[in-house]
Structure 1
Amino acid sequence: MTAEGYAVFDTAIGPCGLAWTGHAVIGVQLPEGSANRTRARLAKRFPDAVETEPTPSAQQAVDGIVALLEGEPRDLADVTLDLEGVPEFHRRAYEITRTIAPGKTLSYGDIAARLGMPGSAQAVGQAMGRNPCPIIVPCHRVLAAGGKDGGFTANGGVATKRRMLVIEGALADEPTLF
């Protein structure tokens, strides 16, 4: 997928990135440990994109992500995504995931059931692991059975997932984990 532009911006969990085309977001990058590493990851994912000031719609997404990661219960469902090239099953799983409110969680099995495909929890987990727009598609709000963390492919792994859930109020603060 070709992005027109991308930007790196500061958040409460570190420098994140956003890539867009037209009026739609096509990628979000969680922190890679530094702004330069986040920038490098975006440049690798979107080699034709140019780092530039966000368009008005991209800036709206940036503002929403920053607010959400500062603890504001922000719903990012109004951010337009371009998921061209994303498998249909993944898109359907992402649509359901986008309905999970800040501070709430669902399990992989819950999403599989809502897809009308009970027994596909592992496939839902794989879809979450390939999510091109984390935070906007809040895969961090999807847990394994019994409220267990499950996986998280972003830099920092499950600790990043848990930190985001603590910020949103879905988990009690556990400062020894971060």
Structure 2
Amino acid sequence: MQNLCYALKHDSPIGPLWSYWTKRGLYRLQWADTAQPEWIVDETLGSASAKSAADKLDVALIAFFAGHAEDFAWVRIDSLGWTPFADKVYRKCREIKPGSTMTYKQLAQRAGNERASRAVGSAMARNRVPIVIPCHRVVSSSGGLSGFSAPGGLETKRLLLELESD
């Protein structure tokens, strides 16, 4: 279990969205039906920088859900536990601009292994910081929507893409 030092609830049209922070950065961004964080957060481990980053993310998420393009590249992420390949995939995924999409194969190519489309799909399914790592911008080879593990599944993916296209 991570040493979580701060948690903040953000409002979204999909439901409550919780950000969980460590001293290294954003550890998880998760939709949850609960009014309380599901993880134990020890704020004595916290730092002013985690709270400041969470507050800044809150402002950016409000703008994002209001339809203002945001790439969230400034958010520092705690990548502890990621494989080297997943780390590459997530870094390349963060380069996809708001309003744009990329196929799993294209993302695999950018991550250095053009035959790893399925591995990219697995990495996207395990993405613990959706929106900040914009897995909703990754589409099937036909350009259609496929695979999205957040509540609402493909409808949520469609909504996130529509927010960015306006």
TM-score for the superposition, normalised by structure 1: 0.83
Q: Deviation string for 1:126-146 (max 9, x for gaps)?
A: 000000111100101111111
SS of the residue aligned with 1:18?
strand
Match of 2:56 among 41, 60, 76: 60
After TM superposition, the structure 1 stretch with the greater mean CA deviation from structure 2, 58-67 or 123-132, is 58-67
Amino acid at match of 2:55: Q
Match of 1:81 among 73, 77, 81: 77
Does the alignment pair 1:47 with 2:15? no
TM-score for the superposition, normalised by structure 2: 0.88
> 1:100-115 maps to which residues of 2 (within 5 A)?
100-115=96-111
2:8, 2:54 within 8 Å by CA — same for their partners in 1?
A: no
Amino acid at match of 1:47: I
After TM superposition, the structure 1 stretch with the greater mean CA deviation from structure 2, 152-161 or 13-22, is 13-22
Aligned to 1:90: 86
> 1:1-178 maps to which residues of 2 (within 5 A)?
1-22=2-23, 24-30=25-31, 32=32, 34-36=33-35, 39=36, 42-43=37-38, 46-49=39-42, 55-169=51-165
CA distance in 2, matches of 1:97, 1:116: 13
1:74, 1:102 within 8 Å by CA — same for their partners in 2?
A: yes
In angstroms, what is the RMSD of aligned CA positions?
Answer: 2.0
Amino acid at match of 1:168: E
Aligned to 1:173: none
% identical equivalent positions = 32
The unaligned stretches of length 5 or more in structure 1 are 171-178
TM-superposed CA distance for 1:13, in Å, is 3.1
CA distance in 2, matches of 1:123, 1:23: 26
TM-superposed CA distance for 1:11, in Å, is 2.1
Q: What number of residue pairs does the alignment pair up? A: 161
Aligned to 1:175: none
